[in-house]
Amino acid sequence: MAGDVHNKGVSWEVQQNGTLAPVDRLREDRSESPTPGLVEGTEPGAGQKSAMFVHSQSFEDLTADSEVSTETHPEGDCALGEAGEEALCLAAKEKIQIELQPEVEEEVRPESRSKEEDVGSEVWRSRRKHVFVLSEAGKPIYTRYGTEEALSSTMGVMMALVSVVEADKNIIRSIHADGYKVVFLRKSPLVLVGVSRTCQSDRQLSRELQYIYYQIVSLLTLTQLNHIFQHKQNYDLRRLLAGSEHLTDNLLRLLDRDPGLLLSAVTCLPLASSTRDIVSSSLQAAKAKNLVFSILLAGDRLVTLLRKKDQSLHHMDLHLLFNLVGSSSSFREGEGWTPICLPKFNTAGFFHAHISYLEPASDLCLILVSTDREDFFNLSDCKSRFLERLNRRNAYQALKEALKCPSYSTAQVGIPELRHFLYKSKSSGLYTSPELPLPYQSEEEQERLMGLYQHLHSRLHHSTRPLRSIYQCGETENLIAWVTSGFELYLCFSPLGTKAQAVAAVVKLLKWIRKEEDRLFVLNPLTY
């Protein structure tokens, strides 16, 4: 109570500088069947009007703001950066990637071993991916496993590493040693550290740390975060983040499992386009003065998204909203009302979100995002109007029917050796993927498959040697990945298939997606 740090000198309102208008693209002619030279905007799943999301062509766009393209080490290579490389980096931005010798890294680990049982235990040490957040004063803010208190000296060492390297006008990016990758992300006033035994690339790990950073910003705004640490360098931020740990935990789980976060895309509830259009127009009619976004979710799938003209949502912000809704059961019964910063829109101010399920037992959740913190009753009224209209036009029943099969099986595509796939339409920022088939249904197998997709993704989006396509044979499955200017595609086949079959399957799959695109994607995004 005493330190009511927030709202003093911090603006609550969203400023207009966050306007992120998408590029308008009109698509009259949609090609009949996709071809390899396909241009963006005509691929299956591309929206017919302007994009719903902030137009981010690729993974690179998303990571560009903090990434300096200096990562030249191939997977699993722990060699020290060569002199030539370093010179190149220095020339670029005066930042070099430091690959510290294993013995330096060794100093970090005995430190944690000497802690209380919990964080020194084998279980703790054998976790696949640790994530730590600390302040620049070295104060613990978050740890994925164990308690922050027990890790204060470990985090102190992490901060020391960051500072030592910075003292020489360099930036520490990662340490590779002993099968571990330690990735550092410096986002003043916070420092994020990931320690991973997975085969993800440094870039992917760094991107995951960015997600965690933005998760924290979404709760506090960057303005407030800066304000706090400017006034009190050794502030214990856990006080302000109390009760939000499960949001970060859940986000890390999503990062391990949800292909949407990997692809920077969102998946939709399969729905007849006529029904989806009615839902969209009903939501469009239920507008209010300060309403910026209306989002209808079915579980973790998008039903439709409405936005104010000229405003677009970044998928990272949408994923943060998904995460908020997915990790709190408290919206089920009543109507929730919470401030939320959408950091990719504007890190300086809060939006206010009205979050409620259409029915307590239903999976349909409506998120109404307003700029006015006193808008609760207006938005509550919007919701009633939306429901009324939906019922009047008999769309609610159709929607509930569609909820019974929120996914589809790979068998529907009609390619026997195909087990699973991910398809992302770049211009709409939407992806589609069937439900996981049998060998991948357990948690471990699901994460293993995701690991394979992550690996292919890192090869396609490699900063210095990007690939257009890759075919990979394994003992348990064969995979093919292909990226064009219009789409990104990952297919998983039984290990008995051949490369020729795989290539033929790609063409067949693209045809099938084109045929089903009305149902699988939001093709007519509307605005208020």
Find where tokens 């927030």 sit: 6
Nearer to other proteins, 88 or 387 (CB): 387
CB-side neighbour CA atoms (13 Å) of 42: 12
Least separation in angstroms between residue 365's CB and other proteins is 13
Q: What is the C-alpha separation between 507 and 489, in angstroms, rounded?
A: 11
Least separation in angstroms between residue 324's CB and other proteins is 7
| Residue 145: strand, helix, or coil | coil
Least separation in angstroms between residue 307's CB and other proteins is 22
Nearer to other proteins, 93 or 239 (CB): 239
Least separation in angstroms between residue 247's CB and other proteins is 9
* 307: nearest Cα among 20, 15, 526, 523: 526
Dihedral sign computed on CA atoms, order 257, 262, 264, 269: negative
Residue type, 380: S
* 338: nearest Cα among 412, 260, 263, 243: 243
User: Using an 8 Å Cβ cutoff, are 510 and 34 in contact?
Assistant: yes
Please compute Rg for the chain using Cα positions.
Answer: 24
Nearer to other proteins, 237 or 402 (CB): 237
Nearer to other proteins, 224 or 410 (CB): 224
Least separation in angstroms between residue 300's CB and other proteins is 18
Nearer to other proteins, 197 or 332 (CB): 332
| Residue 492: strand, helix, or coil | strand
Q: Please write down the HEC assignment for all residues of 103-158.
A: HHHHHHHHHHHCCCHHHHCHHHHCCCEEEEEEECCCCEEEECCCCCHHHHHHHHHH
Nearer to other proteins, 312 or 356 (CB): 356
Angle (nearest 5°) at CA 403 between 397 and 404: 100
User: Using an 8 Å Cβ cutoff, are 235 and 6 in contact?
Assistant: no
Least separation in angstroms between residue 146's CB and other proteins is 18
Least separation in angstroms between residue 350's CB and other proteins is 8
Nearer to other proteins, 1 or 83 (CB): 1
What element of type H or E holds 267?
Answer: strand 266-267
Please confirm whether the linkage preceding 36 is cis (ω < 30° from 0): no
Q: What is the C-alpha separation between 428 and 438, in angstroms, rounded?
A: 30
Q: Footprint of other proteins on this chain (CB under 8 A)?
A: 1-7, 12, 219-220, 239-244, 246, 324, 328-331, 333-339, 352-353, 355, 373-374, 376-377, 380-381, 384
Least separation in angstroms between residue 248's CB and other proteins is 13
Nearer to other proteins, 322 or 453 (CB): 322
Nearer to other proteins, 169 or 246 (CB): 246
Nearer to other proteins, 63 or 356 (CB): 356
Least separation in angstroms between residue 230's CB and other proteins is 18
Helix axes 315-326, 202-220, angle to 10 degrees: 70
Nearer to other proteins, 96 or 340 (CB): 340
Identify the DSSP state of 527: B
Q: What is the C-alpha separation between 46 and 310, in angstroms, rounded?
A: 18
Least separation in angstroms between residue 318's CB and other proteins is 17
Q: How far is CA 181 from CA 82, 99, 284, 325, in A?
A: 19, 10, 47, 31
Least separation in angstroms between residue 40's CB and other proteins is 37
* 44: nearest Cα among 54, 30, 57: 30
Least separation in angstroms between residue 367's CB and other proteins is 12
Provide the β-strand partners of residue 140: 134
Least separation in angstroms between residue 208's CB and other proteins is 23
Nearer to other proteins, 5 or 503 (CB): 5
Find where tokens 């809704």 sit: 325
User: Using an 8 Å Cβ cutoff, are 128 and 136 in contact?
Assistant: no
| Residue 431: strand, helix, or coil | strand
* Non-local CB neighbours of 183 within 8 Å, separated by 6+ positions: 173, 174, 193, 194, 195, 196, 202, 205, 206, 209
Nearer to other proteins, 254 or 353 (CB): 353
